[in-house]
Amino acid sequence: MQNLPEQFIENMKKQLPANEWEAFFAVYEKRPFKGVRINPLKGKKTDLTAKLPFLGKEVLWEENGFYTTEEKLGNSPFHAAGLFYSQEPSAMRVAPLLDVKEGERVLDLCSAPGGKGTQLAGVMNGKGVIVLNEPVYARAKILSQNVERMGIKNAVVVNETPEKLSEKFSGYFDKILVDAPCSGEGMFRKNADEALSEWSVENVQLCAERQERILNEATKMLRVGGKLAYSTCTFSISEDEGQVENYLKQHPEMRLLCQEKLYPHRVDGEGHFVAVFEKTERIGEWDSRVKEAKPSRSAEAEKAYKEFEKKFFRDKFATRLYEANGILYDLPEGVFDWKGLQVLRVGVRLGEVKNGRFEPSHSLVMCAKKEELCNALDLDCQDVRLDKYLRGETIESEEIQNGWCAVCVEGFPIGLGKAVNGVVKNHLPKGLRKI
């Protein structure tokens, strides 16, 4: 058995029936389960699974989830193309219970690195607005990178505190996910060194107090009839069932719809907890005066983009052009005015206008499909040029037309290039290149 804290062992023996103790503690001698969730924004399930030979059996509670034993999945070119997200199987349970629909306003309040948030975005299919918030800036940057890689068009990535957001979004959201920072007991097997080193009785209590504050702010932002999911990756009663009991006492406007606790000796996954609530009535003052952002751009920027779009896409790609500091974005339909918020990403960053010419961004090509593109270089996984491209090198192609082009791996865009007489200059962002 791992060197589990004595107090944790005592707590679990009180929490579980005696006939389950042996099975529970035995899991710490076994390897944790690994999971992969394919990205429905990139194509049909059958098309995606055909490209990913490392997928094992399906995860019961997530239609796009699979088990895998493959190591270093990040090395796959299909990872760079956004076809899948590595996610612990039990963590996939939360998003389906929130029952998000296309066209809704959704908030993932503690989103980094983006597993559950990108899972919700996949269900929304680019319709509606999903706000992915992370208070820690360094983690928010990682979140933003994952949103870009997965090709999400309708996301707003925000770096704010829950208190700051609740001031602006009173009664605004249809669905809210609070995947709260917790003591991490459910990760003792998966992330043993980090989770065990940070655990203490005092930290459990601090986590419970912080979770209560976050839940209180989240509740203010939920509309009447809306749903809120609260989740942790811990077994602690004070952070899970006790938190739910306390929350319902403090918030009579909320009713509990369901709650589940996943134990690693009962399911093929790590420890996880989720409770889903519905807001049944309005309590106190409610302010819905959230202004909608309006498309806005200079004539020069619009002209430059339209000229590019005609050559690069087979049909119209961007519909709501917005310019800020020379950078053009395609805004999600119905997105709010984000003035006053620390925002890292809104919709699709299309590119930048320089000297009257439009230069596309990596975000644009990651949101596109090969069949939408006029000029695409499609490389097989075994093509030596693919590895060269991923390393940031120039590659050759006689069949590609001069100008901006998309570089694809077996039908899926992976980055940009600029072709000149059979030579494709590499425009993959430096931070994404293989070392």
Whether the Cβ atoms of residue 394 and residue 422 lie closer than 8 Å to each other: no
Q: Is residue 134 in a domain? A: yes
Q: In this structure, are 271 and 393 located in the same domain?
A: no
Q: Is residue 368 in a domain? A: no
Q: Is residue 341 in a domain? A: no
Render pLDDT for 341-351 as a digit per residue (tens, 0 to 9).
999 999 999 99
Give the containing element (helix H, strand E) for 252. Answer: none
Q: In this structure, are 98 and 222 located in the same domain?
A: yes
Closest CA to 191 of 32, 5, 27: 32
C-alpha neighbours within 13 Å on the C-beta side of residue 312: 28
- Domain of 230, CATH number, reads 3.40.50.150
Overall number of domains in the chain:
2
Closest CA to 31 of 202, 238, 213, 264: 264
Q: In this structure, are 257 and 384 located in the same domain?
A: no
The token pair that represents 14 in the structure block = 């009180």
- Domain of 415, CATH number, reads 2.30.130.60
Q: In this structure, are 256 and 381 located in the same domain?
A: no
Q: Is residue 324 in a domain? A: no
Whether the Cβ atoms of residue 361 and residue 350 lie closer than 8 Å to each other: yes
Q: In this structure, are 262 and 389 located in the same domain?
A: no
Closest CA to 198 of 231, 234, 242, 237: 234
Residue 395 phi, psi dihedral angles, 5° rounding: -125, 170
Quick one: pLDDT at residue 402? 96
Q: Is residue 151 in a domain? A: yes
Q: Is residue 26 in a domain? A: yes
Q: In this structure, are 396 and 275 located in the same domain?
A: no
Give the containing element (helix H, strand E) for 45. Answer: helix 45-51
Q: In this structure, are 263 and 394 located in the same domain?
A: no
C-alpha neighbours within 13 Å on the C-beta side of residue 433: 13
Q: In this structure, are 240 and 383 located in the same domain?
A: no
Give the containing element (helix H, strand E) for 160. Answer: none
Q: Residue holding tokens 């996984």?
A: 381
Quick one: pLDDT at residue 108? 98
Quick one: pLDDT at residue 132? 98
Q: Which of 182, 233, 405, 408 is catalytic?
A: 233
Segment 252-279 mean pLDDT: 98
Considering 279, 298, 313, which residue would you say is the last residue of a domain?
A: 279
The token pair that represents 222 in the structure block = 């939920």
Please give the C-alpha separations between residue 173 and each of 100, 166, 237, in angstroms, as whole numbers. Answer: 11, 11, 28
Whether the Cβ atoms of residue 98 and residue 120 lie closer than 8 Å to each other: yes
Render pLDDT for 393-410 as a digit per residue (tens, 0 to 9).
999 999 899 999 999 999
Render pLDDT for 137-184 as a digit per residue (tens, 0 to 9).
999 999 999 999 999 999 999 999 999 999 999 999 999 999 999 999
Note the pTM of the prediction, 2 decimals. Answer: 0.96
Whether 233 is catalytic is yes
Q: In this structure, are 99 and 214 located in the same domain?
A: yes
Cα separation, 204 vs 236, whole angstroms: 8
Q: Residue holding tokens 């809210």?
A: 176
Considering 260, 279, 298, which residue would you say is the last residue of a domain?
A: 279
Q: In this structure, are 64 and 200 located in the same domain?
A: yes
| CB neighbour list of residue 15: distance below 8 Å, 6 or more residues apart | 235, 237
User: Taking the mean position of all CA atoms in its chain, how far away is CA 307?
Assistant: 32
Q: In this structure, are 214 and 93 located in the same domain?
A: yes
Q: In this structure, are 381 and 275 located in the same domain?
A: no
Q: Residue holding tokens 């082009």?
A: 405
Q: Please classify residue 380 by burial: count the beta carbons closer than 10 Å to its beta carbon, then call 0-12 exposed, 13-18 middle and 19+ buried.
A: exposed
Q: Which domain holds residue 428?
A: 373-435
Q: Is residue 188 in a domain? A: yes
Cα separation, 313 vs 299, whole angstroms: 20
Cα separation, 26 vs 1, whole angstroms: 7
Q: Where is pLDDT greater, at 190 or 278?
A: 278
Q: Is residue 44 in a domain? A: yes
Flag the least confident range among 76-90, 205-219, 288-302: 288-302
Quick one: pLDDT at residue 110? 98
Q: Residue holding tokens 């119209």?
A: 316
Considering 233, 252, 279, which residue would you say is the last residue of a domain?
A: 279
